[in-house]
């Protein structure tokens, strides 16, 4: 008993960033080094941004799609859900390939597939072919599997300590920023023609592709880090056995955070279009952006502050989950009939998620050495994708029976995550490098 109480999380912050910084300073001085670093930050942050834009931009046009293609509400929802499910299933495979062949070697073709399939989906919409649209979306999900999850692993490869935490906070903020602007951008583009978002997205994808190619200099992997598949899987098994209690708890908490976020956004999207609010189009996108803005600002700030401070991370994770639990619980009193209070509570819940996610990202990314990092972060992101996919349909099904049950369920899940994280995820002090333990 006493032994388990004093055990600290074994976190790795392995990096070659310091070596690269010295090289940059000798060649072009500190100024050129800072500029190169900013370009790298932008390139890495662009990967989760285009991931979100390629999915959430389509939410405002689902109703138009139903009319134009003559499909049901369920069929239109598959355009979002099938994308997330496909990505979630393939992410672990992509994670292994990135550990074997390198992050950029997987990210670059993934972005090409992602953007190219978006163009195919657009032509499917022009031709009025739902099978082409839905097939292209599944292909996009395959491309998406090699984007945002590997951005986390790449940040862990390239940076150390405070810089790594900051970059992971930026990627989470970029993900949230994409969620803020995508419904507004999708609704605005749909004013031109309803299928315009399909064709606009590949342009953003191309910009991210160029940034990754030209701005990111990936550290070369040592030959000893490339393991045969059998040995590699055994090493992953050992990691899950040794660290499974807190890792699996962290996976659950991160997935639940996005399940709650997307479920609530779906709920808001449904009620805002109905009387007495009757809010639609760009205005609805602006309202939905309010809680997401809370997530973005908090994620960026948290990532900048936590550095390698495990004690601070523990405090912020528990505060974030407590804030989400209390605010979601209060929605049972201040419900949609009190819209201003309701939106304030939903925003506070998103702030709680913004405190939680950058801490989880840093802990999980730093929990293993580089040679297993792609798989571990991919398992985490796979569960996040499945949380995103499950949120809207499950919340929609419960809404049809009793809206109050939605927030009873979300409050209970947040409380369960708080208890599990409080007792099982206990980083302390400056997080240690497992390669030195």
Reported as a single tens digit per residue, the pLDDT across 32-65 is 667 778 899 999 999 989 888 888 888 778 878 8
> What pLDDT sits at residue 82?
86
Query: Is residue 8 predicted with pLDDT exceeding 60?
Result: no
3-class secondary-structure state, position 259: helix
Distance (Å) of CA 434 to CA 78, 114, 156, 325, 397? 42, 35, 14, 33, 45
3-class secondary-structure state, position 290: helix
- Listed in sequence order, the residues at least 6 apart from 389 whose beta carbon sits closer than 8 Å to its beta carbon are 80, 81, 84, 85, 88
Reported as a single tens digit per residue, the pLDDT across 89-140 is 888 888 888 888 888 999 999 999 999 999 999 999 999 999 999 999 999 9
Domain covering 24-436, topology: Growth Hormone; Chain: A; (1.20.1250)
* Cα–Cα dist 308/160, whole Å: 9
Q: What is the DSSP letter of 427?
A: -
**DSSP symbols for 77-105:** HHHHHHHHHHHHHHHHHHHHHHHHH-HHH
Reported as a single tens digit per residue, the pLDDT across 193-211 is 999 999 988 999 999 999 9
- Backbone φ, ψ for residue 430 (5° rounding): -80, 130
Lowest mean pLDDT among 114-123, 180-189, 419-428: 180-189
Q: What is the DSSP letter of 59?
A: G
> What pLDDT sits at residue 31?
54
3-class secondary-structure state, position 301: helix
Mean local confidence (pLDDT), 326-342: 91
- Listed in sequence order, the residues at least 6 apart from 94 whose beta carbon sits closer than 8 Å to its beta carbon are 106, 110, 145, 146, 149, 150, 374, 378
> What pLDDT sits at residue 401?
84
* Cα–Cα dist 325/209, whole Å: 39
Reported as a single tens digit per residue, the pLDDT across 246-289 is 999 999 999 999 899 878 887 887 788 788 888 877 787 788 88
Query: Is residue 12 predicted with pLDDT exceeding 80?
Result: no
Q: What is the mean pLDDT of the chain?
A: 83
Where is pLDDT greater, at 356 or 225? Answer: 356
> What pLDDT sits at residue 4?
45
Greatest mean pLDDT range, 16-20, 86-90, 358-362: 358-362
Dihedral Cα 318, 320, 321, 324, nearest 10 deg: 150
Q: What is the DSSP letter of 225?
A: G
Q: Where are the domains of the chain?
A: 24-436
Query: Is residue 141 predicted with pLDDT exceeding 80?
Result: yes
> What pLDDT sits at residue 29?
52
Mean local confidence (pLDDT), 386-415: 87
HSE on the CB side for 297, CA within 13 Å? 10
Whether a cis peptide bond, with omega within 30° of 0, leads into 276 is: yes
Per this entry, what is the length of the chain?
A: 437
> What pLDDT sits at residue 32?
62
> What pLDDT sits at residue 33?
67
> What pLDDT sits at residue 14?
43
């Amino acid at each position: 008993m006493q032994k388990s109480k004093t055990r600290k999380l074994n976190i790795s912050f392995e990096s070659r960033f310091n070596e690269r910084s010295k090289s940059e300073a000798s060649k072009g001085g500190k100024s050129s080094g800072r500029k190169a670093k900013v370009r790298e930050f932008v390139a890495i942050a662009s990967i989760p941004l285009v991931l979100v834009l390629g999915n959430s931009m389509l939410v405002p046009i689902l109703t138009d799609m139903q009319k134009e293609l003559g499909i049901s509400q369920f069929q239109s929802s598959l355009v979002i859900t099938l994308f997330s499910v496909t990505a979630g299933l393939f992410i672990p495979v992509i994670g292994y390939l990135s550990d074997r062949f390198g992050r950029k070697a997987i990210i670059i073709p993934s972005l090409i597939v992602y953007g190219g399939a978006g163009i195919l989906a657009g032509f499917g919409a022009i031709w009025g072919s739902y099978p082409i649209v839905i097939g292209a979306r599944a292909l996009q999900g395959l491309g998406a599997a090699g984007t945002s999850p590997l951005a986390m692993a790449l940040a862990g490869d390239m940076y150390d300590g405070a810089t790594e935490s900051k970059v992971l906070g930026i990627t989470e903020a970029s993900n949230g920023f994409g969620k803020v602007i995508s419904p507004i951008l999708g609704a605005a583009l749909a004013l031109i023609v309803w299928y315009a978002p399909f064709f606009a997205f590949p342009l953003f994808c191309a910009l991210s592709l160029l940034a990754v190619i030209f701005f990111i200099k990936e550290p070369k992997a040592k030959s000893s880090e490339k393991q045969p598949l059998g040995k590699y899987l055994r090493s992953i098994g050992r990691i899950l056995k040794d660290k499974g209690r807190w890792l699996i708890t962290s996976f659950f908490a991160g997935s639940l955070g996005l399940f709650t976020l997307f479920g609530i956004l779906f709920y808001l999207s449904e009620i805002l279009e109905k009387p007495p609010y009757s809010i639609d189009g760009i205005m609805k996108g602006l309202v939905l952006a309010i809680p997401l803005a809370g997530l973005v600002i908090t994620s960026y700030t948290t990532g900048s502050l936590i550095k390698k401070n495990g004690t601070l991370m523990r405090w912020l994770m528990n505060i974030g989950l407590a804030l989400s639990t209390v605010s979601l619980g209060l929605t049972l009193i201040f419900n949609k009939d009190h819209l201003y209070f309701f939106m304030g509570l939903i925003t506070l819940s998103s702030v709680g998620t913004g405190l939680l996610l950058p801490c989880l990202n840093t802990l999980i990314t730093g929990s293993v050495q580089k040679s297993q990092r792609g798989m571990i972060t991919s398992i985490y992101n796979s569960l996040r994708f499945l949380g995103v996919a499950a949120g809207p349909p499950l919340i929609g099904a419960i809404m049809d029976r009793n809206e109050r049950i939605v927030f009873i369920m979300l409050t209970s899940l947040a409380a369960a995550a708080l208890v599990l994280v409080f007792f099982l995820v206990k980083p302390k002090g400056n997080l240690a490098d497992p390669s030195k333990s």
